[in-house]
Amino acid sequence: DTGVSQDPRHKITKRGQNVTFRCDPISEHNRLYWYRQTLGQGPEFLTYFQNEAQLEKSRLLSDRFSAERPKGSFSTLEIQRTEQGDSAMYLCASSLAEYYEQYFGPGTRLTVT
């Protein structure tokens, strides 16, 4: 197994543009999580899926953010009308539902200019 992968690794966009990130979890994992990390901070929870169902969303996830996991496999995180404050590392993780341990991908670094 190759672990959790994320694409792209880096994204530079202008304020007001939309961006979409993709995450491919470890194949047998039924849970998939999105976190955001800013400089000097730990990852902050955004949302998670169990199979196709989105079970929890953080209040950090404004209306401009949407996440999907259409077939219970890969997931996408879209940010509409990006703002400079959206600049961060977006991390994806996966796990089996019965275990607490989550395994992270390398992240997508977003820079909004």
Positions that interact with other proteins (CB under 8 A): 4, 6, 31, 33, 40-45, 48, 50, 55-56, 58, 91, 93, 95, 97-98, 100-107
Calculate Rg over the CA atoms of the chain: 13
How many angstroms separate the CA atoms of 31 and 40, rounded? 27
CB of 23 to other proteins, least distance (A): 11
Q: In which residue are the tokens 């999580």 written?
A: 33
Task: Please identify, using beta-carbon distances, which residue of 3 and 16 lies nearer to other proteins.
Answer: 3
Task: Please identify, using beta-carbon distances, which residue of 34 and 86 lies nearer to other proteins.
Answer: 34
Q: In which residue are the tokens 């890969």 written?
A: 74
CB of 16 to other proteins, least distance (A): 28
70 contacts 22 by C-beta, under 8 angstroms:
no
Task: Please identify, using beta-carbon distances, which residue of 45 and 74 lies nearer to other proteins.
Answer: 45
Q: Residue 15: helix, strand or coil by DSSP?
A: coil
